Amino acid sequence: MINVLNGINTTASALEAERIRMDVISQNIANAEVERAPGAKPYQRREVVFETILNQQPGMGGISEAGIQVARIAEDERAPRMVYKPGSPYADAQGMVALPDINIHEEMADLMTASRAFEANLAVVRNARTMAMQTLSIGKR
Amino acid sequence: MSPDLMRGANGLTPDLARTAIPQYELGKLSPTSPIQPSTAITPAGGNFESTLGQLVSGVTAKQAAAGDAVAGLATNAGVPLHRAMIAMEEASVSFQLMVEVRNKLLESYQELMRMQV
C-alpha cells in the first residue's frame, strides 16, 4: 500500500504507549484513597515500563523503524501509608488504616509528563501531514 | 526508580536500548537515486492504466481502512482514537495525491487539445 505519511507508525506506537501510561496513572489516582481491611494488601502504585521495538521496514533502505511499546506494568513496592482514622470500619486496634502508597503530587507530575509527551507525538503527526500536503503542492501554480 | 524498574521485559537497560535504536550514519543516508525514465514503452509494472488503477485501489484501501477504524471506534471494538484519526489522515492525504495526479493528467490532456495543427 502506498505510504504517504512517513514514520507515522513509530509515532502511533508512542501515542498508544502514552495512552496506556495515562490509564495507569488514572488507576493510581482513583485508588489513592481506597482502604483495605487490616491484613489485606492495599492497592500498590503501578508504573509503566517502556521498551523499544525494532521493525525492519523494507522501504527505508535497511534503516529500522524504532517504535515503542509498554514492556510491562510494574508495581511499586513502597510500604502503605498509615493514617489515623478510628471511625473507619477497616481501622485496626490502634485506629490506623492502611492506604495505598500514592502521593497525589507525584501522580500529577507524571500525568503532566504523559500529557506533554502525547502532545509532542501529536505535533509529529501534524508536521508529517503538513509536510505531505506541502509536497503535494509542488507544481501548483 | 529502582534499577529493576528501569529494566524492560526483554532485559534492555537504557544504555542497551540506546544502542538498539538505529544510528543514522551519514554514509548510509545517501540521497534517493534520481528516478530514471523507463526506456521501454511499457514498464515492468504494466501500462500506465494499471499503474493508475493501482493508485486508485490503494486510495480505496486506505479509505476502507479509515472507515473500519472509525466503525471500530464507534462500536467500542478496541480501536484507540488516535489510530482512527491517523487512518483518516492517511486516507485524506492519499486521496489528495490521487486528485493531484488526476489534475496533472487532465492538464496535459487539455494542453494537447489546445495544440494547433
pLDDT in tens, A58-82: 555 555 668 898 999 999 888 888 8
Residue A17's nearest CA partner among A58, A72, A92 is A72
The pTM of the full predicted model, rounded to 2 decimals, is 0.73
- Could you read off the pLDDT of B53-93 as tens digits, one per residue? 999 999 999 999 999 999 999 998 888 899 999 999 999 99
Closest CB from B6, B8, B97 relative to A4 = B97
Query: For residue A41, what is the DSSP state?
Result: P
Q: Which residues of A touch B97 (CB under 8 A)?
A: 2, 4, 136
> What HEC string does chain B produce?
CCCCCCCCCCCCCHHHHHHHCCCCCCCCCCCCCCCCCCCCCCCCCCCHHHHHHHHHHHHHHHHHHHHHHHHHHHCCCCCCHHHHHHHHHHHHHHHHHHHHHHHHHHHHHHHHHCCCC
The pLDDT of residue A64: 63
Domain count across chain A: 1
As for the ipTM of the complex, it is 0.75
Cell numbers found for residue B44: 515492468
Q: What average pLDDT does this structure show over B38-66?
A: 79
Q: What average pLDDT does this structure show over B17-26?
A: 54
Is A70 contained in some domain?
Answer: yes
Cβ contact, residue pair A72, B9, below 8 Å: yes
B87: exposed, middle or buried (C-beta count within 10 Å: 0-12, 13-18, 19+)? buried
Q: Containing domain of residue A90, as a range?
A: 8-136
Q: Which residues of chain A, if any, have pLDDT below 70?
A: 1, 55-65
- Could you read off the pLDDT of A4-13 as tens digits, one per residue? 787 788 899 9
Of all residues in chain A, the one with the smallest CA distance to B63 is A1
Provide the number of CB pairs (under 8 Å) joining chain A to chain B. Answer: 78
**DSSP string spanning A53-82?**
EEEE-GGGTTPEEEEEEEEEEEEP-PPPEE
The pLDDT of residue A127: 93
Cell numbers found for residue B35: 528516478
Q: Which residues contact B31 (CB under 8 A, 6 or more apart)?
A: none
Residue A48's nearest CA partner among A68, A66, A67, A78 is A68
Q: Which residues of A touch B1 (CB under 8 A)?
A: 47
Q: Which of A2, A3, A121 to mutate to test the interface with B (most CBs of B within 10 A)?
A: A2
- Could you read off the pLDDT of B89-105 as tens digits, one per residue? 999 999 999 999 999 99
Position B37 confidence tier, pLDDT thresholds 50, 70, 90: low
The pLDDT of residue B5: 46
Position B24 confidence tier, pLDDT thresholds 50, 70, 90: low
Mean pLDDT of chain B: 77
